[in-house]
Amino acid sequence: MFWEEKIETATRETLNELQLNRLRETLGKLFQKSPFYQNKLKEAGITPDSIHSLDDVRRLPFTTSADLRAQYPDKMNIVPREELFRLHTSSGTTGKPKALFFTRKDIEILANNFARCLTMVGCTKSDIFQNMMTYGLFTGAMMSHYGAEKIGMLAIPAGPGNSERQLMLMQDFGTTVIHLTPSYALYFANFVEKKGLDPANDLSLKIILVGAESYTEETRRKIEKAFGAKVYNCYGLSEMGGPGVGFECSAQNGIHLWEDTYLVEVINPKTLEPLPPGETGELVITSINREAMPIIRYRTGDLTSIIPGPCPCGRTHIRVTRFKGRVDDMIVVKGANIYPQQIERILMLIPGVGRNYLITLHGLDEMLIQVELDAETFDGELRKLENIKNSITTQIRGEVQVKPQVELLPPGSLPVSEGKTKRVIDKRNI
């Protein structure tokens, strides 16, 4: 099923020609209207006429999160104020946010892209879409909401949290598709079970869209098992317009990124050199179809790799692997480089382990892992609990070369955020 079959299955030659033309047009606008990019491009010795192929994108300067904050409030915008249609800001919690501007056409393109995403996982106008992402300055809810309405789905702007209301809406209106964070999906499954209901049989859900947080394949399986529904990975970032920058198709074999809207690279985050398909590095994105605020070679901080070869779904747009976390997610404990997803992957595979965990770094350089168990396991015999604790300790030590302290907790003990859940707290005195 396709929303726009002609563009979704376009040949590589067609896509490349379209991308090159749009890149040149974008650079022409920036060279004329953006003092920020005028300076950066001149320093790099670049003019729009000097871009002859897509390989020349490597000559363009990078843009960082710090650059966007430094241009706050509106120095990245290149259209007259009266042409601006929407303002969003980044979800950053410290200092000035990143102000992100959109014209009416920008919003239309982003909504259309999300409609593609919904269609390729099987959503139709007969579905009921309950959006459990945060509405407001965050882009996560509104762009996906417009995409659902474009298809003709009945959209419920539920917002995050308030699980009682979420459950009521699902039961009363027969919600078939939900959009939320993976951590809240796990929490909500526990909530439904505590109500004496079976999420897999007492709800009408068939499709779950998760995003805004990194998560593992093992966590996906837990969510799918809990709800008896297919879980699809939604990728986006506010700087590029929010959700729908990339999405899994029904084949669930990587995340397609829409190449008529974005140029995609993966680079070595240390050397800044491009990496070939199959090698993990930092995702870099250039917007090539945006009016108000085009961004060149934006360093997303997200770690992934390009998947070579065609996708079974028939779409030709580039695919990347499940995100392995962020460049700045890495923690160093006793000299070992550790990504939280390494720990999550182990925890979610151990029988009896529940749906939430927290890593706390404390003391001189110690790591405490608090793990919720499912209710039946936690109420079981002490010997079984010790076996689980030992298994967690042994497997994590084997994976990251650091022996953690492990604390087993009953379900519902750890906090769950309505937005992005914090998995690591650093309290070290080093």
Task: Tell me the two tokens of residue 278.
Answer: 């199959």
* pLDDT tier for residue 258 given thresholds of 50, 70 and 90: very high
CA separation (Å) from 49 to 217, 337, 366?
44, 44, 55
Count of residues for the chain?
430
Nearest-angstrom CA–CA distance, 76 and 79: 10
pLDDT (mean) for 238-265: 95
Rg (alpha carbons) of the chain, rounded to whole number: 22
Nearest-angstrom CA–CA distance, 37 and 17: 24
Q: At what angle do helices 35-43 and 12-33 cross, to 10 degrees?
A: 110
Q: Whose CA is closest to 230, among 256, 200, 257, 254? A: 200
pLDDT per position as a tens digit, 181-218:
998 999 899 899 999 999 999 999 999 999 988 888 88
In this prediction, residue 212 carries a pLDDT of 85
Percentage above 90 pLDDT, the chain: 74
Task: Tell me the two tokens of residue 52.
Answer: 């002859």
Contact 124, 135 (CB under 8 A): no
At which residue do the structure tokens 């747009």 appear?
317
Nearest-angstrom CA–CA distance, 293 and 286: 11
Domains of the chain (ranges; CATH) run 1-328 (3.40.50.12780), 330-426 (3.30.300.30)
Task: Tell me the two tokens of residue 227.
Answer: 């709800």
Average of per-residue pLDDT values in the chain: 92
pLDDT per position as a tens digit, 209-240:
999 888 888 899 999 999 999 999 999 999 99
Nearest-angstrom CA–CA distance, 95 and 97: 6
pLDDT (mean) for 291-308: 96
In this prediction, residue 401 carries a pLDDT of 86
Examine the pLDDT at 115 and tell me if it is beyond 50: yes
Of 126-140, 228-242, 316-330, minimum mean pLDDT range: 316-330
At which residue do the structure tokens 């990078």 appear?
62
The DSSP code for 241 is T
In this prediction, residue 430 carries a pLDDT of 58
Q: Which residue has the higher pLDDT, 383 or 269?
A: 269
Please give the single-letter amino acid code of residue 204.
S
Look up the pTM and report it: 0.86
User: Hey, is 362 helix, strand or coil?
Assistant: strand
* pLDDT tier for residue 420 given thresholds of 50, 70 and 90: low
At which residue do the structure tokens 């009896």 appear?
352
In this prediction, residue 411 carries a pLDDT of 86
In this prediction, residue 93 carries a pLDDT of 47
In this prediction, residue 31 carries a pLDDT of 93
CA separation (Å) from 62 to 58, 66, 208, 318, 387?
9, 11, 34, 21, 50
Of 16-30, 39-53, 249-263, 291-305, minimum mean pLDDT range: 39-53
pLDDT per position as a tens digit, 45-94:
998 889 999 999 999 999 999 999 999 999 999 999 999 999 999 855 45
In this prediction, residue 284 carries a pLDDT of 98
Percentage above 70 pLDDT, the chain: 98
pLDDT per position as a tens digit, 147-190:
999 999 999 999 988 999 999 999 999 999 999 999 899 989 98
pLDDT (mean) for 398-410: 91
